[in-house]
Chain A
Amino acid sequence: MSLRQILGKIGLWFAVFVIVSPAILFFLWMASLSLKFEVDNAAYPPVFFPERIAWKNYADVLASNRFLTYFVNSLIVTGSATGLAMLVGVPAGYGIARMAAHKSAIVILIARITPGLSYLIPLFLLFQWLGLLGTLVPQIIIHLVVTVPIVIWIMIGYFETTPLELEEAALIDGATRWQVFRHVALPIARPGLAVAFILAVIFSWNNFVFGIVLAGRETRTLPVAVYNMISFDQLSWGPLAAAALIVTFPVLLLTVLAQRQIVAGLTAGAVKGG
């Protein structure tokens, strides 16, 4: 290895370090805040590694039974919205891809452009009129605004790339279109299903704007609950940071574990909910 190559290597690693550090430092600082007692969090200059670790912050957050309720709410809303979106979105993506109905994808694009709040006003009235406010149903339904376009969009892309020959052969052998979809197309598209599922889960889990309007005291999802902690829980940073980290931890874990699928999905359509 020549000197030039070595210098190049060092330069590259330096560049990588510089680029990744804002993300790493931020999340480390977040963890640090969540593990410190108030004395350390209010210290100046700031303390990075505390002498005593405040596991208590996490215990406090997890022990409040409200938090458990909100966690379950989040699970129900994200689970239902993603499940329903897969149920209707995957066949739709297949149908659109096979019909080559590219124009229908424009609806998805417009949905992508529309600000989330403009869905909220009419649907808020509708839910009020139906007497659904105070339950989780409105949030499940409105999260479909986020999850359904993601799933359809990604599945169109996947089914367009899967080979037609197998499906044609199955049709000639007398399979119905549904059987072809179920037993031929779907198994091949499994990587696409994973991408669509992961992205739908993340964007639904993260969603905040729908919750602040539609959620009541008992029906908050985690992001809304964390936001409300800012306004009501005075200024104790430790428990706040702990709550924030608990909320976003599943997503961060998923991001690192499934980064390949996430990158594939995001670059395919660069979808984002909300």
Chain B
Amino acid sequence: MLNLTPYILGLPLLGFLVVGLFGKRMSKAVIGGIACSAILLAFLCAVADFFSMLGQSVANRSNDVTLFHWVASGTLTINFGLLSDQLSAVMLLIVTGVGFLIHVYSIGYMGDDEGYWRFFSFLNLFVFAMALLVAADNFLFLLVGWAGVGLASFLLIGFWYTRPSAVAAARKAFVVNVIGDFGLMLAIFMLFKFFHTLDYSRIFLGISQRNVAPSPLPPPSPITGDVLTAIALLLFVAAVAKSAQLPLHVWLPDAMEGPTPVSALIHAATMVTAGVYLVARAAPIFTAAPNALVVVGIIGGASSLFAATIACVQTDIKRVLAYSTMSQLGYMFMGEAAGGFSTGIFHLTTHAYFKALLFMCAGAVIHALGGEQDMRKMGGLRSRLPYTFWMFVASGLALAAIFPFAGFWSKDAILAAIFSTAQAHTNPVWWILYAVGILTAALTGFYTFRLIFTVFLGSYRGTEVPAHGVAAVARNGNGNGNGSRNDPLANVHEVGAAMLIPMAILAVLSIIGGFDGIPRHSAIGDFLAPVLGVSPDLSGGLFWFSLLLSLAAALIGIGIAWVRYGVRQHTFAPARGLVKFLERRYYIDDLYNAVIVVPIVAVGNVLRNFAEDAALDGGSRGVARTVGATSRGLRRLQTGYVRNYALAIFVGAALIVLFYVIHP
């Protein structure tokens, strides 16, 4: 079987190194060409691998290549191995494919930016780290990729490093992600303690033959269900941080400080999907720990509902999308918790299409309006940005899960998996999760179309858009367009081809991208089944009931949005009551700030003022001052007069003689 995985990793790494080291002296065309072709070639390798894999029989589709031995210490042996199986193939296709489209889009979006080469080298690094994460065949290299993704996201969120808010957001993302890295590390320690290996295949073998560790040494204690639950929960801590679920979601909305293509990359192809991938990859561990799966389901359901409610009141166009990502990731975790690991991955793929497109459309709107992100100051852009409008609608319908758009099939598969699990278990939590899923579907329809109607319908509410690129026009036009003789949108224009073409490809994928997962004929489900197992599904009347229920919920949500925001111009009153509570994001950020950040900063200030200044600096400065004072005294002895020196020598000699006279 063809295995080009080393090239899928190597090409983005090479692109990162070349652009990162020499990009400063290259022209923008060369930088964009190198960075994009690296990802394009990686994508073509992934496609070749995928079709080669399809040509094999199901039993032969998994292929593990060890490139070199990295660590061999006692019983610990770590190989740099790349696993090419169905799950990594799907993930690599998404990472490199959607990643490539975002690269092309960035050529247009970042065209005026001074840090062009820096941006593209970081993008390549991001894709490399994510590819390493999904292609590794053991947990240690998964961790390497995991941390690399964290680093790349830090660099890109803080890309505009002269903005204090961007720097703060990057730092926040990094700190929150390190909490997850810590969980992953603890999980790895436990895996090694009980299995004496970190390879996926041997760990999963060890679980299937419980208590038979695949190693010469016996495990220190039997591998019980509790041990597996602990490992699964630690892995899930890592997934929660990376995939921005409660309670570690706080970094994701702030990450909107990065350039919009970065948001698209983080939300669609890399980063947040890592948590979903980790749970799917560790499916045998989670399946053997049903209690941990309940936790995964509860966290996922809570996050999806929580984020959807917040998304309903946000006024920043990108933050709405950020919370919707958190909500959709909650869906994926719910699906995985219900045993439908392949439904989670299926939703990950469709979500990658339409969420990347949503961010690109949002970027196009922001670009057209010269940097404006507040949707209260938008409106009526449909005629100015016709392509963007229709693609926004297509991706919005996919997000809201309307038949037959991509999101419909994947979300329905998840809901069916939850429904089916709820039937099979006595635990009422699954019924609650199903209800949460339906409610969130309605909220999703509402906030998605609230966004679209507010931005594209009605009349324009902002100020005049200055001509960007050229010196801004001094005139300050009246905002409404009625009072001003000039059109405030005169400078608004549709984006260029470099941005529109990737958007168009993603728009097609948002429409047809779900057809590989049609219920009961799910190509992707069958493809992933050898790795992830068969997802629970519904049959007969219940199948149609669930399908129509979620569709109806979404349509109700869209309908409410149409009544409130579509048919007439909505006036945004200052938020109060429940809306204010939601707009302040349940005060969770404020709570973390008060409970964690403020005390830490206070302790830091105390230490800086007293420990650092007084004790540490004071100590070292005291030594320096003593030496200085001593030498200031001693230099008086150096008079420069020869005769003084001669006298000193004479007196010294006389004293020595005197000494020997007294003590013969």
State yes or no: do A and B come from one complex: no
Residues of B within 8 A of A (CB): none
